[in-house]
Chains A and B, each alone.
Chain A
Amino acid sequence: MDFNDTPEEAAFRAEVRAWIDANAPKHLEPELRRASFASSGLVSEDPVTAGKAWQKKKAAAGWACLHWPKEYGGAARSPIERVIWSQEEGPYASLSGIFIIGHGMCGPTVMAWASEDQKQARLPPLASGEEIWCQLFSEPASGSDLAGLRTRAVKADDGSGDWIVNGQKIWTSGAQHSDWGLLIARTDPDVPKHRGLTMFFLSMHSPGVKVVPIKQANGASGFNEVYFTDVRIPDAQRLGEVGQGWQVSLTTLMNERLSIGAGMSTGFPDVFRYCMEAEIDGRPAVEDANVRSKLAQFAVRESGLRYTGMRAISALSKGETPGPENSIGKLVAGATMQELAMFALDLQGEAGVVWDEDSPQNGRFQSVLMRSPATRIEGGSDEILRNIIGERVLGLPGDIRVDKDLPFREIPTSGRRKG
């Protein structure tokens, strides 16, 4: 057991460090260090412009999409090299936040299911940051139950082979900046729900696509609704067979949960720092027995997640596949963030209600309080994650499914009130 690099890893790290040192936009570092979940932290420049510039620079030097094959614009680096890169990239990584979905989910899906021509056309500009992708999966009536989606794709009756799409997607991050979208739609409502789906990709600039930002409970708008009105998609932009959309989507989702959960922080270090400064009855808060007991339990969750991440990296470093431990990341971090925010506000007393730049750490705890409920839902709710751990990690049976063999159109769609 040690925390040191192997000689090869150390050499790679030195190379990365030197390149970043010479090329990173250092003037942005202080802002980027204030990045929080779902925000790059950037205010002095447009995040999309700055993000595209950084990605382009990386791509030119061979540092884009380390895990992708070289023929599609990647660098074909090993998983552990990818980890070292991200450790060294540090705060600048948040500049590339707009590409996470494209590089982590859409790209791998296209790579697995598209024709060679399509891959050659679409992947390099995605890798180099010229094009941004978004993922069009969730719908208002199908969140956790993704396969219950209702957006319809029907063959055009003009013999073109094109598909005509109508419906609505929701929770689409980055849709407003995106050039392309990965879309799952229902092509057959007369078969059981998992069997009537088909995957496509489409230009977000297509006629009939309308992006509407969702105002969130915290006042921000990180997500969008996307409306489709007679949007035309060429059949060549179908991924997988008609009716095979569910299997295709599993490629995407497998990557989504990994990338959301891995290495999440609970925000403990900020709260701990605040407890070192704040006072209770004239003494440092950190000396209060109640604060200590609560902080200690938060601390071991934070360090538990940190070392769980390092265990996964250790496995990667040895060429092994990490175990299922990482699936706990978002489950633990989401709930803990929210508890920590309430705890930090409690320490502030009546003044905890105030949310402005004079609040401790620029109002960070108030922001986390208002943002954290979403963390416990997006990308797999706490309940879905517990199901995944129970079923895929512990091998417990699935929930009883009443909709499994029903044709989609016969599945009940609204709860009837008793009495």
Chain B
Amino acid sequence: MSNSKRPIILAVLLTLFSISGVFAATPSYKIGIVTPTLSASEDEFRGAVLVANKYPGMIKHLVLPDHFSEEQETAITQILSLGDDPEIKAVVICAGYSGILPAIEKIKAKRPEMVVITAPIWDDPDMMAKYIDLSLDTDWVQRGITIPTKAQAMGAKTFIHYSFPTHMAKEVLAKRRDKMKETCGKIGMTFVEISTPDPTTGGGRSPMLQFLQEDIPRQIAKYGKDTAIFGTNCPMQDVIIAKALELKFIMPEQCCPTPTQGFPAAMGLEITEKDAGNFAKINEQIKEKAAATGTTGRLSTWPVAVGYFFPEFAARLAMLKVEGKLPSFDLAVIEPVAREVAGVDVRFTPMKPGLNNYFLIIMDSIIY
């Protein structure tokens, strides 16, 4: 699609939004959004709640079990129940889990016209491209390049990668690790890989976090404070950021980049109910705290919670698609919508050359 056509499409879209806003009071269809539970991942959950509040009566929000990998069948039932509701015309699944594809296949077999957007799920990419109308994800592998590069720009000389067996058993995460190693080698940083106790089996996450508490000071003592630390598991971020405040090393990005992960717990951010969900305010607070602890320039993330952004973004795309206003999910069509929802630039790349319904995103970074 050429650049000249963009403004026209944008204009069309904006009109559509205003129209849909007018008709929002009397929706003729519903969109189902599936997210993890609140305690598993707040961002996606709140993102879905946000959409539900924006379009009252149009959103049906469901959550997956807390222990997803152990209760796969409950998850499948939840998703199938959306497919069973004739009012629901589109399904948006925002959960970084693998094993959801069979449920989508079943929905599609029953109702081929159903619009399914995943943002993201982690099944086999080729299979996903075949069954799912639009798959979105953060660009895991690409981040294997961007994160070390950013870390070096922030002054890091060593790059430490914390993970554990079951995470490294996931293909994308393993690939990202390999990419990081490769990038570090290219740009002349030392790459250190450390394995922590596994939180998904047995002892829960406490042994893992306890290990981090003890190991990070050891590593910083060994490699100096110009070290970037990256952990692949969400709960790790609390400890990593807390230790960063203490030991002044570099935290270039969390596993799921967002200001709402790790920072609030580690910095003890006091976010009032009024400011809750206001990312500009949250970023400001983090900046202040970073300055107060002398870690300015050592911490970075994406300015908007990707998980918070995905549900709304995907839901909007789904609405346009259901209303027939969108012929296809083309880059040129979805990029402006993304900018409008996120408020910052979002860059999309196809998952593989030739796939036109599986896109990976990278956002701009904010360095506190």
Question: Do they bind each other?
Answer: no
Residues of B within 8 A of A (CB): none
